[in-house]
Structure 1
Amino acid sequence: MKKLGITFCLMTSILLVIAGCSKKKESEPETNLKGMSSLESIEGLWEGSIIIPNQPLSIILTFEKNNGAISIPAQGLSDYPLTSVIINESDVFFDMAIQGQPITFDGKVEQEKITGTFTQQGQSFPFELTKGNKEQLAEKGDVVEVKLKDGTMSGQLEMPQGEGPFPLMVIIAGSGPTDRDGNSAALPGKNNSLKMLAENLATEGVASIRYDKRGVGSNASLAGKEEDMRFEHYIDDAAAWVQFAKTDERFSKVGIIGHSEGSLIGMVAAEKTDADAFISIAGAGRPIDQILLEQLKEQLPANLLEESKTILDKLKQGEQVKTVSPELQSIFRPSVQPYMISWLHYDPVAQLQKLQSPVFIMNGNRDIQVSIQDAERLHDATNDSRLLIVKNMNHILKEAPDDRAGNIATYSNPELPLAKGLMDGITVFLKDELLREK
């Protein structure tokens, strides 16, 4: 991998641009909004990002008549109050303070956009917001909710037309700040791959539930502190959706589709819930430490690569590493190490071998993040799984050219359809395993 922005999509690393955002709001400032008479002009919900090179940070601003708040899903910050909002004709300024640190946004309002400069601790980056509304977050389909130990998680249900009951697939997104539609806040633009997958399933008579992971989008409030996060949280969330669907009379059988990191999460959840079928799309066939080291070999000098190996060895033994070089903080900072320790407990091959349900392994031959060798390794680990390598398909399920730049360009193009052969393969498998009377 040549670009860190693509490499770290495999990680759940959270940007630390705004220090302390995931901490408890022990000393929230009192909101003191200025320019009240003009605030109505921007009232509502605005979505966008702070445009940090290679790692855009998704933000959501909500302005109401008497207050304003910011959410940063990737950092677990939800509805944090703004200190002030000042509007002067087309100029808008708003700020916040976290642990005594002033953070400012200085911009202009032009029709349905706010653009400007974000500043913290002397560092400045552009930001851009687009006007939206809370109803748009749900988009098409029914919003469903499931109760968890630490709160309520929302998801989006896509139902086929006609009389049920229908088989249902729980769709699990990949790593990092990737939402239920397959779009990542760490990458510019949208691809809508998982949204398209759900909609195509519905046309084939298969319902689906897809959901923002905890800390992302509509489920940002479930993030908690980064140091408290564990891989098992994602597994338990996926299992909760399967159990939810199994108790709903609208659904006949319930399976799981896991994409990228969601593949490993899905394997464990499928075994835990005795799911009726499991589909892995672009899922790794090796433990994450092996994949990460393979990627880092192409990016790090020898001394940092050796340090990475040492850190991973310690983490695999369940030991945290207190001292990490500044260059490696984005991957191995102490607050993310407990999560990595929990992740390293899981070997995809060993997990897949525990499944009793039908298994379908899929990958694209132009996936620059997960190789077809990983898919073959998973397939070889089981006696009766199916394997399909989709011609010209890349990691986000779209057809891509052979060159790397052209491949990456598809990550930001929602107009591209799903790769040919993907839905055909899934449909045949599901008709054999879930739709056919046995």
Structure 2
Amino acid sequence: MNLKIRFLLVSALILFACYVNAQNLNGNVDTLTVQVSDLALHSVLSTPDEENTPVALIIPGSGPTDLNGNQSQMNNNSLKYLSEALVKNKIATLRFDKRGVAKSAYSTLKEDSLTIEIYANDVVAIIEYLQAHGYENIYVIGHSEGSLIGLIALQDINVSGFISVGGAGNSADVILKKQLEPKLPKTYFESVVQIIDSLKNGHLVKNVPAQLGALFRPSVQPYLISWFKYNPVSLIRNLKTRALVVQGSKDIQIDTNEGQLLAGEREQVDYVEIENMNHIFKTIEGGMQENIESYTDPSLEVNERFIEAIVNFINTENP
């Protein structure tokens, strides 16, 4: 064989071996769709090389957040990095684009038909998919609003454990008031309170001030009504499995009081507070500006103590 050709073949084999090893180090990533009631959800299943590992289903937070934790103007890869870290610790993950978001978007979507129960039913369907494909040790990780969605879903189906990250203890109407009060003039905030209270009582609001139209537009009000009626503390008390509540000390969206409230005093709920971690799992050593900038900085990895807390919880056998 020509010496030059032999050298090229050997080089190619070395490169291929390096590629395979790199793939093994990062686990195996499979793109798939999970059929739910009326559509197929775009999903990614990431698995370590080891067999019979636990699997963590990761539920994104509110808004058009995709399976990587990103939105169109907010790229930080929070959920992608969480998944990769868990796979390195021999825990499989399944991430998915919520219905209507990214590759799970569909042309017939009507905003006024969405409720939080629909999102919860999608989660139940994904858990059933994992069960049907041989996974027995399933954990649900709900981030932000995904925590509440996970809690609602787990009222109807059992898993090995539940993990809330940046999830609220109060109902969403209370959280929304808390978030909006310092940001709005007093007159606007008084109007907000009236609208929220009406929705909390199950009543649509016809006359919404133009300045508040984006937040309380008619098409989103049915979702808000469905969202406001759930009490996370009551839901977590009803779980038939153990749970972990993780909260970051630098979370500017859901404060530590909310995490402590959610964990409460239930024996099967652990609470871990991560120093200097913000809402998207990033480590923030400085102040508000650094915190805000992290939401659009995909170069920042997720907090290591955060990963340790989740891995330790999953690897601890049920009592």
> TM over 0.5, yes or no?
yes
**Mapping for residues 148-187 of structure 1, pairs under 5 Å:** 148-162=36-50, 164-185=51-72, 187=73
- SS of equivalent residue, structure 1 residue 143: strand
Q: Which one of 289, 294, 297 corresponds to residue 410 of structure 1? A: 294
Q: 1:379 to 1:267 in 2, by over 3 A?
A: same
The amino acid of 1:235's aligned partner reads A
Higher relative strand content: 1
**Mapping for residues 106-117 of structure 1, pairs under 5 Å:** none
Preserved CA contact (<8 Å) 1:242 1:255: no
- SS of equivalent residue, structure 1 residue 171: strand
Preserved CA contact (<8 Å) 2:117 2:152: no
Q: Sequence identity, in percent? A: 36
Match of residue 180 from structure 2 = 296
The one-character-per-residue Cα deviations of 1:217-238 (angstroms, maximum 9, x if unpaired) are 1101177111111111110111
Q: Which one of 275, 295, 317 corresponds to residue 159 of structure 2? A: 275
Preserved CA contact (<8 Å) 1:151 1:222: no
State the alpha-carbon separation in 1 of the partners of residues 203 and 38 from structure 2.
27
State the alpha-carbon separation in 2 of the partners of residues 195 and 374 from structure 1.
25
The one-character-per-residue Cα deviations of 1:293-335 (angstroms, maximum 9, x if unpaired) are 1122112222221111111111111110111000100111111
Q: 1:381 to 1:167 in 2, by over 3 A?
A: same
Preserved CA contact (<8 Å) 2:59 2:146: yes
The amino acid of 1:158's aligned partner reads S
Preserved CA contact (<8 Å) 1:235 1:269: yes
Match of residue 269 from structure 2 = 385
- SS of equivalent residue, structure 1 residue 257: strand
State the alpha-carbon separation in 2 of the partners of residues 211 and 245 from structure 1.
13
Matched, 1:356 2:210: no
**Mapping for residues 76-87 of structure 1, pairs under 5 Å:** none
Preserved CA contact (<8 Å) 1:349 1:381: no
**Mapping for residues 39-438 of structure 1, pairs under 5 Å:** 141-162=29-50, 164-185=51-72, 187-188=73-74, 190-221=75-106, 224-249=109-134, 251-433=135-317
State the alpha-carbon separation in 2 of the partners of residues 290 and 433 from structure 1.
35
- SS of equivalent residue, structure 2 residue 317: helix
State the alpha-carbon separation in 2 of the partners of residues 378 and 294 from structure 1.
16
State the alpha-carbon separation in 1 of the partners of residues 40 and 304 from structure 2.
37
Distance apart, 1:383 and its partner CA? 2.5
Preserved CA contact (<8 Å) 2:248 2:275: yes
Q: 1:342 to 1:223 in 2, by over 3 A?
A: farther
State the alpha-carbon separation in 1 of the partners of residues 282 and 42 from structure 2.
27
- SS of equivalent residue, structure 1 residue 263: helix
The amino acid of 1:348's aligned partner reads P
State the alpha-carbon separation in 2 of the partners of residues 223 and 208 from structure 1.
29
- SS of equivalent residue, structure 1 residue 422: helix
Distance apart, 1:384 and its partner CA? 2.5
- SS of equivalent residue, structure 2 residue 105: helix
Higher relative helix content: 2
State the alpha-carbon separation in 1 of the partners of residues 237 and 131 from structure 2.
23
State the alpha-carbon separation in 2 of the partners of residues 175 and 381 from structure 1.
27
The amino acid of 1:147's aligned partner reads Q
State the alpha-carbon separation in 1 of the partners of residues 83 and 250 from structure 2.
22
Query: Looking at both structures, which has the greater relative contact order when contacts are Cα pairs under 8 Å and sequence separation is at least 6?
Result: 2
- Paired residues, number: 292
Distance apart, 1:369 and its partner CA? 0.6
- SS of equivalent residue, structure 1 residue 387: strand
State the alpha-carbon separation in 1 of the partners of residues 199 and 146 from structure 2.
21
State the alpha-carbon separation in 2 of the partners of residues 159 and 309 from structure 1.
46
Distance apart, 1:403 and its partner CA? 1.0
State the alpha-carbon separation in 1 of the partners of residues 157 and 32 from structure 2.
19
- SS of equivalent residue, structure 1 residue 297: helix
Preserved CA contact (<8 Å) 1:353 1:381: no
Structure 2 spans left out of the alignment, 5+ residues: 1-27
The one-character-per-residue Cα deviations of 1:104-163 (angstroms, maximum 9, x if unpaired) are xxxxxxxxxxxxxxxxxxxxxxxxxxxxxxxxxxxx71012222221211210000112x
State the alpha-carbon separation in 2 of the partners of residues 314 and 223 from structure 1.
29
Q: 1:234 to 1:409 in 2, by over 3 A?
A: same
State the alpha-carbon separation in 1 of the partners of residues 81 and 97 from structure 2.
15
The one-character-per-residue Cα deviations of 1:346-376 (angstroms, maximum 9, x if unpaired) are 1111111110111000011001111111110
The one-character-per-residue Cα deviations of 1:248-273 (angstroms, maximum 9, x if unpaired) are 12x23111000011000011112321
Preserved CA contact (<8 Å) 1:365 1:389: yes
- SS of equivalent residue, structure 1 residue 166: coil
Preserved CA contact (<8 Å) 1:352 1:381: no
- SS of equivalent residue, structure 1 residue 158: strand
Match of residue 17 from structure 1 = none
With normalisation by structure 1, the TM-score equals 0.65
